[in-house]
Every structure is written in C-alpha cells, then in structure tokens.
Amino acid sequence: MNILKKLLTIGLWLIGIVLVYLALLFVSGNLEFPIAYPLSDKTVAIIKTATRVETFEVQNDLGFDTTSSTDGYTITKTGPVETGEYVKRLQDVLLSRWTFYRDSSKCIPEPPVMYRLVSPEGTVDVLPCFECGILQVFTRTGKEVQPDASWFGMGNRPKLLALAKEAFPKDPEIQSIR
C-alpha cells in the first residue's frame, strides 16, 4: 500500500510539473498546437518570400471590395516602405498560429493601417482592426485577388499594434490605440 501511495504521489507531481511547463510555453508563445492553419499555401509562400512591407493608413469607405487595389479601403496616407527586421517581425506574426483564432465580434472592421507584403510571387495585404480584433488578409498574384482570411480575434494584437505605431510614429490616432 505504501508503494502505491508513493507512486501516486510521484505521478501527481510529474503531472503538475508537466502542466506548469506547458502553461509557461503557452504564455511565452513557444507552444503551437497542430491546428488547421487559416492561410492558403499561396499566401504563406508570398509572406515567406516578402522582401519589403509597404505601409498605409486606410479608411473603410466601401467595405469588402476585392476588385479595388486596396480591398475596398481608401488610402489616406502612405507610410514608409519597411525592409529587413520589420519584414521579419511581420512575417513571424503572420506565420504564427497564435495570430489567428476564432472569437466573435459585432463590429464593421475599421482598420487604421494596411501592411502590404511584397514578394516576387505577389502581394499580401493585411488589415487589422484593433478595435474589434478582425484581421483581414487579401492575396494578389497579377490581377487575381483572393480574400484569404477574415478572422475574429488576433492573438498577436500587441505585436501588430507595435508595428503600426512604429510605421506611423507621429500619427496621434494610431499612437493613442491601446
């Protein structure tokens, strides 16, 4: 009976240690579960091979119009063209499974910025609404435009917001977003 108690105690301790370890991995963002990835293979390929990111301030005038060059959004200001580390940081966010998850929202998306990842294979437009958490992704190859994802919930919202604030450091509206 003593041996059973000792084995049970050791087993419970091991389970506890494993759970704490998994929780720490989850919180740090280093644990990714094998869930269905929301982006198409074509979009992922463009994101991975992007060499620059064009940044824009946008306003929602038309809604989801995939025939326009800006996915139904009016460009109100052109920001800097980012390269190097900025591109890598945006790629890391978009290729993380923690960026996309399902939640619910009752808002019409009002993304203040658009990131356009540019690759030899095409472009990917990313429009995050920091108010309601909708993240829209549009893929372009030549004249073909493909709405790729529109997700409620951004697990990596702080990282996307930091990139927006970095691209538009003097814009009071973007800087005031919390």
Measured in degrees and rounded to the nearest 5, phi and psi for residue 103 equal -145, -170
Are 156 and 149 in contact by the 8 Å Cβ rule? The answer is no
Q: What's residue 50's pLDDT?
A: 96
Percent of the chain with pLDDT over 70: 75
Domain boundaries, the chain: 1-31, 36-175
Prediction pTM value: 0.70
Between 66 and 145, name the one with better pLDDT. 145
**Fold classification of 36-175 (topology level):** Dna Ligase; domain 1 (3.30.1490)
Sheet with 122-128, edge to edge strand ranges: 73-82, 52-60, 113-119, 122-128, 134-141, 144-152
Tokens 């993304």 — which residue? 111
Percent of the chain with pLDDT over 90: 27
Question: Could you tell me how far CA 19 lies from the centroid of its own chain?
Answer: 27
Sign (positive/negative) of CA torsion 102, 103, 106, 111? negative
89 sits in which H/E element = helix 85-94
Q: What's residue 119's pLDDT?
A: 94
What DSSP state is assigned to residue 99? S
